[in-house]
Amino acid sequence: MVIGRGLTLESPVGAASGTFGYGFEAERMGNLAGLGAIFTKGTTIEPRPGNAPPRIAEVPAGMLNSIGLQNPGVEVVATEYAPRWRGWAAKVIVNVAGSTIEDYVRVCRRLDRVPEVAGIELNISCPNIAHGLDLGVDPRAAAACTRAVRAVTEKAVIVKLTPNVTDIAEIGRAVQDGGADAVSAVNTYLGMKWSRARGKPVLPGTGTAGLSGPAIKPLAMAAVARLVAALTIPVIGIGGIASTDDARDFLELGARAIQIGTANFYLPGLAASCAAELRQDGGAA
């Protein structure tokens, strides 16, 4: 399926950022077969150590995470990781995160020179790092970030949207106008788990974290429906997909492709089997 700007996926099934590392664990475990795309861990200009534990908590039909963008930095990704992606059938799309628009521009400018990088997914919506500028909730800031990145790369640019806004379609239209080739939706919902034993949230800091897993699928489908109706660029559906039927739901709704996220943690073979089953559907993708 065509995502845009020369990016075509062999399968509509992708693995979501933050649930698949940079693909090497799945490669070792034999779980890459048939995937259309891998969306890497959020990558920043400098290495980041991530947040202090605990970083994850379990909630009904889902989990909370507050990893804090642990990643080795774009230089390691470009020079050490990218060569290892050569020969993979799955397209590797690097998820890019930052604190300022200039951060995003610097990372994307570096990635633009890396042939193994098939595209860029802009993470303007990570709920787990504190910074003054929350690009993903302000249509003008979201558009400005997209436009700034668009100016420094020829690669396909997919903007990953946060659902923690009043009108996700407004943000979607803004990044479409800013030059995005596609949007992916949704990132995690803001959530919290309380520890009555300790009289405070389970996760540290403010206690808020990103909620993912089957719990969010109905919410994500509603968000994707609004985006499909509002946009002309492709929408990549994400949110609680834990079976091939879940993936079919998003595709029938109008998503061009889908990403499997949290389920990769407890069903590591799901993405590959989902890709194989959708291929058998023929046409459904």
Partner 1 sequence: MSPFQLPESDLSRARDEAATCIGVDELGPNLHLLTLEAATASRAALPGEFAQLQVEPGPLLRRPFSFCDLDPGRGTVSFYLRVYGEGTRRLAHLTPGSTVRLLGPLGRGFSLPETRASSLLVAGGVGAAPFPHLATQLLARGERVHWLNGAAGSDQLFPLRRMPGGLAGSVQVTDDGSSGRRGLVTDALPELLGGVDRVYACGPNPMLQAVSEMAARLRPEALVEVSIEAPMGCGFGTCLGCSIPLRFRGAPVPGLCCRQGPVLGADQVDWEALRRQPAHLE
CB atoms within 10 A of CB 193: 16
Give Cα 174 distance to the centre of its chain. 18
Residues catalogued as catalytic: 126
d(CA 261, CA 62): 11
Nearer to partner 1, 28 or 113 (CB): 28
Residue 239: CB minimum distance to partner 1, A: 15
Which residues contact residue 35 at a Cβ distance below 8 angstroms, ignoring those fewer than 6 apart?
Answer: 11, 13, 14, 15, 89, 90, 271, 272, 275
Rounded least distance, CB 189 to partner 1, Å:
15
Burial of residue 241 (number of CB atoms within 10 Å: 0-12, 13-18, 19+): buried
Closest approach of Cβ 190 to partner 1, in Å?
19
Checking phi first, is residue 16 left (phi over 0); if not, alpha (psi -120 to 50) or beta? beta
Residues that bind partner 1 (CB under 8 A): 19-21, 25-26, 28-30, 41, 47, 49-50, 52-58, 61-63, 65, 67, 70, 72-73, 76, 80, 193, 195, 202, 213-214, 262, 264-266, 268-269
Q: Are 214 and 61 within 8 A, CB to CB?
A: yes
